Amino acid sequence: MKIDPRLALRSLVASIVLVVGSAAVAQPATPFFDDTMAVSHAFGLELISSRLNAVEALDGDYGGYGGQITKLVSRDIRRFEGSLTAADPALAAELRDALQAVVDDVVAGNDASASVAAARAVHARAYDTLIDADTRTLAFTAMVLADLLLQDDGVAEAYEDAAEDDLWEFPSGYGALVQVKAIWNERVAEHASASQVEDMEEMFAFLDTVVYPSVRPPPAITGDPEEAEGATQRMTGILESLANADLYPSRDLGRLAGSLADTLAPACDAYAAGDDLTGVEGVYAVRNPYRKHLRRLLDLIAPEIHEPAAALLDELISTDPPADKAAACLELHELLVEARGIL
Amino acid sequence: MNIAPVQHQRHARTRTRGIGLVARTVLLFAALAFALALGTTAAQDDDRFFVYISNEYSADISVIDSSTDTVVATIDITGRPGEVRPRGMAVSPDGRYIYVSVSDFMPTVETNEDTITVIDVLTNEVVNRIAAGGNPERVAATPDGTEVWAALEAIAQGGGWNVETGEEIATFRVGIEAEGVDVSPDGRWVYISAETTHTVTVFDRENLEVVKHVLVGNRPREVRFAHDGSVAYVSGEVGGNVTVIETEDHTVIATIDLGLDSRPVEMAVDPVRDRLYVVGGGTSAVYVIDTTTYELIETIREGMGRRPWGIAITPDGRKIYTADGLSDSSTVIDAETLTVIGQIQTGRGSHSATVGVIPRED
């Protein structure tokens, strides 16, 4: 290949600048890569709090939220149920029962205030069991907040899903916003500068007034489905700055694909050992970041990887999983390794 | 297009050092008298440009005269603010027409509102609406002014149209949530960035085929070719960087890191200096990059409007204008001193900025 000396010189200078520049600045923390499973567990726990917030705010008049609240037991708890069962099987069973009671109340249209209060108490114990104090760094908390803002069922995505799919996703987004505010006020705001606090409050005000003025969805969302996107992205940027943490694992897609393969490996071992609860929580930890950051890119540049990978991810979390879950998991693992090779 | 000789200004300043105030005053008046004797028309044409700011929520375009930094016209685009919006723009090489990406607020749905709207700036009237189904977000004109190419956000495609006839030249698959688009100075390549797949798709305009998809910085917003066409720059909003693609074989040769929360969006290539200007949308800043070293040499924050999303520079390299979405303004920056020298009130939700020469009526 013919090398243009001018371009080569530019590349060399750029490399030197980048190396010198990076040495002078403290490296940001990478909570997603450092604590992938703990982040996924915490996200599941915070989603439960978000849905409980929504049920409380709906105050007995649950409308169509019965179709969404079932996710407490069909999705959220499955993000950490294997680990919780390993740590304290009685507590895991107690939490599942408590969440099922909330689901039953909401679906039946009964007042769920008592079951919500009971579930919150069990949930707090589960949180303390799964997420130890050493793990709850500022960077880790910022990562969980970023997930609540940007991931599926979070503030931005729930609004978009409400606009495009099921209007009753709306209360989940409202509940996630309540949860973000609570965590911000209790654990993060004290670390922020005055201007960061001011910027965050401005974003909260926007979300409170324009996006989620009430827990109840409007009759229809006719405006921009991505109305919350700008504010939540801005908030994530502020969180990155104040925590000096990289909250977008997609900045390095090759590393992300590799990390997801590494995260999945123990899940495959668990499936092979017959521990499906631990297996499926590993799949959940992989599925969200895959869907958010990799699926569209791989669909464009490597559909031969994406199509089977996406199908396996869906099958493994479904209520009718493949007969040989360990084999399916290993096949998925190989695809992620392959993805790492091309990114 | 005439480019004002900024280097000559520097030389002139150097030469006047050591000359007394009286002598300088006499020289100044002499120069002014000489200019008046020659007539001012040519000089005005060289120094004046129209700066166009698209306003997403008021659904109009603010036209700024760069010689006075005042809004001289506001062009209504749709008559339905809040429903149909203008975003990215391009100007024909002769300055006569601006091409505006117009769409509704449903970025994932293809509707009849999706057009490239053509405006004659001599009359400020819409003269054509080219159907560009798929939520066109940004648009670029070819160097010869015969075609426009757009990033179609809703359908993950790029598309090109003849500006005279409105005839579609080609559509092709790109990454998801296509946004940025530019045509190389030699007219050969169309580059289209896509937010969700973190890619730039390279389209060969001569053979009408996609050449490759290039992985770039996270959430690419805009793509801009250097004036000599040797490289293209891609802003990565979440990546906090600018990817540099060498256009000979469309490979990434550098990634310029602007920091975790820098949020780069639109970019402007300086026509007379080795510089790239990048707006930080979420950070209310303009980052100045030396394009010979790929080094960040300045960050302009003081006096900036809020949430600048668009940026453009006048063809003489003297002034930079931003489109500030939250303060509904355009910030004016002196490109020589890199300081903010003014704020101009625009419309609601200012989105993009572009600059054109002022067309001659004859």
Tell whether A303 is covered by a domain: yes
- What CATH number corresponds to the domain at position B267? 2.120.10.30
Say whether residue A181 is in contact with chain B using an 8 A CB cutoff. no
Q: Which residue of A has its CA nearest to B174?
A: A300
- Name the helix (H) or strand (E) containing A294: none
Say whether residue A250 is in contact with chain B using an 8 A CB cutoff. yes
Which tokens go with A261?
A: 């393969």
Tell whether A157 is covered by a domain: yes
- Name the helix (H) or strand (E) containing B362: none
| Burial state string for B211-235 with b = 16 or more CB within 10 A and e = fewer than 16 | eebbbbbbbbbbbbbbeebbbbbbb
Cβ–Cβ gap A14/B254 under 8 Å: yes
Cβ atoms of B122 and B359 within 8 Å: the answer is yes
Q: What is the pLDDT of residue B323?
A: 98
Q: How far is B82 from chain A (nearest CA, A)?
A: 8
Q: How far is B215 from chain A (nearest CA, A)?
A: 8
Q: What is the pLDDT of residue B45?
A: 57
Cβ–Cβ gap B257/A11 under 8 Å: no
Alpha-carbon gap, residue B273 to A20, rounded angstroms: 25
Tell whether A328 is covered by a domain: yes
Residues of B in contact with A1 (CB under 8 A): 249
Helix (H, G, I), strand (E, B) or coil at A337: helix
Cβ–Cβ gap A237/B282 under 8 Å: yes
DSSP state of B300: E
Domain count, chain B: 2
Alpha-carbon gap, residue A59 to A113, rounded angstroms: 8
Choose the final residue of a domain: A243, A271, A287.
A243
Candidates A10, A164, A301; nearest CB to B292:
A10
Alpha-carbon gap, residue B59 to B87, rounded angstroms: 9
Cβ atoms of A203 and A235 within 8 Å: the answer is yes
Residues of B in contact with A251 (CB under 8 A): 217-218, 238-240
Cβ–Cβ gap A14/B176 under 8 Å: no
Q: What are phi and psi of B207, to 5 degrees?
A: -100, 0
Residues of B in contact with A22 (CB under 8 A): 257
Q: How far is A223 from chain B (nearest CA, A)?
A: 6
Domain count, chain A: 2
Enclosing domain of residue A332 = 250-342
Closest alpha carbon to B135 in B156, B158, B152, B157: B152
Say whether residue A206 is in contact with chain B using an 8 A CB cutoff. no
Cβ atoms of B170 and B207 within 8 Å: the answer is no
Choose the final residue of a domain: A243, A259, A290.
A243
Cβ–Cβ gap A233/B197 under 8 Å: no
Interface of A with B in 297-336 (CB under 8 A): 297, 300-301
Interface test with B, best of A10, A149, A242 (most B CBs within 10 A): A10
Same domain, A338 and A205: no
Q: What are phi and psi of B230, to 5 degrees?
A: -70, -30
Residues of A in contact with B299 (CB under 8 A): none
Amino acid at residue number B292: T
Same domain, A117 and A190: yes
Q: How far is A300 from chain B (nearest CA, A)?
A: 7
Helix (H, G, I), strand (E, B) or coil at A322: coil
Instruction: Tell me the sheet residues that pair with B125.
Output: B120
A288 C-beta neighbours (distance < 10 Å), count: 19
Enclosing domain of residue B22 = 9-39
Alpha-carbon gap, residue A60 to A111, rounded angstroms: 5
Tell whether A202 is covered by a domain: yes
Same domain, A103 and A140: yes
Interface of A with B in 101-140 (CB under 8 A): none
Tell whether B98 is covered by a domain: no
- The ipTM value here is 0.81
Cβ atoms of B98 and B115 within 8 Å: the answer is no
In a 13 Å sphere around the CA of A34, the CA atoms on its Cβ side amount to: 15
Which tokens go with A205?
A: 């005000």
Helix (H, G, I), strand (E, B) or coil at A91: helix
Q: Rg of chain B's alpha carbons, rounded to an integer?
A: 20
Q: Which residue of A has its CA nearest to B212?
A: A301
Same domain, A190 and A327: no
Cβ–Cβ gap B215/A253 under 8 Å: yes
The CA-based angle A128-A130-A136, given to 5 degrees, is 70
Cβ–Cβ gap A10/B293 under 8 Å: yes
Residues of A in contact with B202 (CB under 8 A): none
B51 C-beta neighbours (distance < 10 Å), count: 27
Tell whether A260 is covered by a domain: yes
Same domain, A188 and A306: no
Interface test with A, best of B111, B210, B294 (most A CBs within 10 A): B294
How many CB pairs lie under 8 A apart between chains A and B?
Answer: 97
B13 Cβ contact partners less than 8 Å away, ≥ 6 residues apart = none
Low-confidence ranges of chain A (pLDDT < 50): 1-4, 7-24
Alpha-carbon gap, residue A310 to B161, rounded angstroms: 36
The DSSP secondary structure of A149-173, one letter per residue, reads HHSTTSHHHHHHHHHHT-GGGHHHH
Mean pLDDT of successive 10-residue segments in chain B (362 residues)? 28 30 40 38 64 96 97 91 91 96 80 90 93 92 97 95 95 96 98 97 97 96 98 96 98 96 96 98 95 97 96 97 96 98 97 94 70
Q: What are phi and psi of A228, to 5 degrees?
A: -85, -10
pLDDT digit string, tens, across residues B221-231: 999 999 999 99
Q: How far is A94 from chain B (nearest CA, A)?
A: 40
Tell whether A22 is covered by a domain: no
- Residue found under tokens 């599941």: A44
Q: What is the pLDDT of residue B308?
A: 96
Listed in order, strand segments (DSSP E) in A42-114 are none
Cβ atoms of A320 and A293 within 8 Å: the answer is no
Q: What are phi and psi of B12, to 5 degrees?
A: -60, -40
Q: Which residue of B has its CA nearest to A1?
A: B249
Same domain, A212 and A300: no
B23 C-beta neighbours (distance < 10 Å), count: 11
Candidates B176, B213, B254; nearest CB to A10:
B254
Strand-by-strand arrangement of the B199-204 sheet = B178-183, B189-194, B199-204, B209-215
